Structure formats: C-alpha cells, structure tokens
Amino acid sequence: MTLIIDGSFGEGGGQILRTSVALSCITGKEVKVVNIRAKRPEPGLKRQHMTAIQAAAVICSAEVSGLRLGSTTITFRPGDIRYGNFKFDIGTAGSVTLVLQTLLPIMAYSKGPITVEIRGGTDVPWSPPIDYVRNVIRYHLNLLGYSFNLDLIRRGHYPRGGGLVRVSVDRPPRGFNSIKLIDRGSLREIKGRSHCVRLPKHVAERQAKAAESLLRREGVNVPISIELEWYKQSKDPHLGPGSGIVLWAIYDKTIIGGDALGARGKRAEVVGEEAATKLLKAMKSGMALDKHMSDNIIPYIALAKGTSIITGEELSMHAYTNIWLVKRILGIEAKLEGELGKPFKLEIKGAGIEF
C-alpha cells in the first residue's frame, strides 16, 4: 500500500520530501509525495532535491518514478539498505547539509560500515552550515547513540559550490535511544569557527571580533574561543569566494548554535554580529534546543525506542511540519505544547524501529 504525502502541508518545501524519503527507506513503506515544494516561488524538484532522492535510492535499493527537474510528484519504493562507499555530486552550490538531512538517518540503519562523499555547497543560504552540523547536530545525535565521522575536505559557497564532505559510520546503531532535553544546566563556554576562502584573512578576523564583542556587551562572561580558518591565496583550494561564522554555546546538558554567512557587499562585522544575535536569542529563550536543532532532531526521536521530551527555542513551521509527518508515516503519538513562533515543549513516544 502506498502512503500519500501532501508536499504542500505546513512549510510546503523540501523538508517534507527529505524526511519522507528517509523514513520510507527505514520503514520499508512505499511513499508517494505530491505537490512537491508547492509553496515555493518555483515549485517542484531542484537539483539538490534530486541528488538527495537519488542518493537515498542508491543506498536503499529503491525504485523511483517522477524523478526529474521541476517534477511535483514522485513515488519512492524502497528496498534493502546497503553499506559500503558512495559518492554523489549535486552539480551546483546546492546544499550538502540538506542532502545529509536525508542520508544520515538512513545510514544509521545500514547493516555494515558506510561512507558517503557529497560534492556541492557546504555553507550556503537557507541551510545549516557544515560547522553547525559538526558541532551542534552531531553532538545531539551522539546523545541518541548515533556516532559518525564528518570530514570537511573543501568548502563550497554560493554560487560556485565545489565543496566536498565525507561522512562515515563505522558501527551503525540501527536504532536510536530516547532523550530528555528539558533544561540546559549551566553555561560553561562559547566556541566558534570563523572562516573565509578566496578572501583576505582579516575577513575571518573581523567576523570573530564582532561576534565576541557583541556577546561581551550583552553580559556573557564565560570563556569565548573562536577559531579562524583562512587560506593563503596561492594555496587556497576553494572555488570561492565566501565566508561565514558558526558559534555554539556549551551547557552542562546541551549545545546551542547560531550562525551567519557573508555575502557580496555585507560587511564582516555585520556577519559576526548576526551570528551572535542568533545565539543570544536562543540562549535567552531558556530552552534546551535552538530553533534549528529542535526541528532536525524530530525524525530521530520519532524513530527511537522509548519516550523523548525536548524543549525548543521556537516552534518553526519546519518543526511543526516534521511533527505532522512523523505522526503520519510512523503512526506515533506526539504531545505538543506551544504556538508557532514561540518556545515549545514536545513529547514523542518513539516507534522503536531497530534492525
């Protein structure tokens, strides 16, 4: 029986597609996603969505119909999840991290060691920067019992792309533990990474200095250490140019992030302050997870064994949509307290899917 998923629900973007395909691979349920990206200015599949679906299809031996640029309907028929080494190329500056949003849950259920290389954009608009995945998302997935290696070989920025990331799972957990992330404990320190490629070193320095200055002005009195990443022009391997900064606040029980990207005509100081402002907003919410982590973790706790409880900085439309989607595909129970755009608490009784 094919499960029909309305891609226009909620945020009506690519996340419905990515989560649907991942859960299809893991559960073995055939899904048909209609009205794909119906609420976007240009509906239908883009290159990065096609890469995510194609990659998932290769890894879980799936048959896919409707897979073409601009398509608004696909049917995904999963097979067995494979292991081994795989390489995928988005072919543009399309987001590597959004492709990983599809592949990481699937890789956790592989029957053996699995490595995936993806070429595309690592630090591009409307998606988590790779340093956020490395330092915030990976930390929380570790708490769920999911350990993986993530190597950033080369960064890729809009519009040229060319980034390269390698992810490997030596011992797939084939299931996740439940988690209770209600409060944060005490703030211990703030770390960060400020980078620039095909640009002068002072760009990364100014981003970091502006971020730290704003945090100090707002009363943050714990240690702050922001690493700089830059390259001599003669040895810079990137297509570039591009820059960005990711900050993460380390608490006793959780890690909260904030980030910003550079752009043509955007001063480095503005980039640094933008990342610090996002981090401060999440910190001041008092919740255990920032806005983006709280929607990224939902598929994992929905698959986990046992009941999970999380609190989030802001109930985004992405999170709201993911809650609806996991309930529809997995048939689980979820208790949500909170309104869109405000802090929330979510309790999910996981499906307990293990291989």
Catalytic residues: 318
Amino acid at the residue 11: E
d(CA 38, CA 95): 20
Read out DSSP for 44-64? S--HHHHHHHHHHHHHTT-EE
d(CA 37, CA 127): 16
- Phi, psi values for residue 111, rounded to 5°: -90, 5
**Residue 142 burial class via C-beta count within 10 angstroms: exposed 0-12, middle 13-18, buried 19 and up:** exposed
**Residue 341 burial class via C-beta count within 10 angstroms: exposed 0-12, middle 13-18, buried 19 and up:** exposed
Amino acid at the residue 254: T
Looking at residue 234, the DSSP 8-state letter turns out to be G
Amino acid at the residue 215: L
Q: Calculate the dihedral angle through the C-alpha atoms of 101, 103, 105, 109, rounding to the nearest 10 degrees.
A: 180
| 118 beta partners | 88, 165
* Residue 176 in tokens: 């996740």
> CB of 238 within 8 A of CB of 154?
yes
CB burial string 41-61: b at 16+ within 10 A, e below: eebbbbebbbbbbebbbebbe
**Residue 64 burial class via C-beta count within 10 angstroms: exposed 0-12, middle 13-18, buried 19 and up:** middle
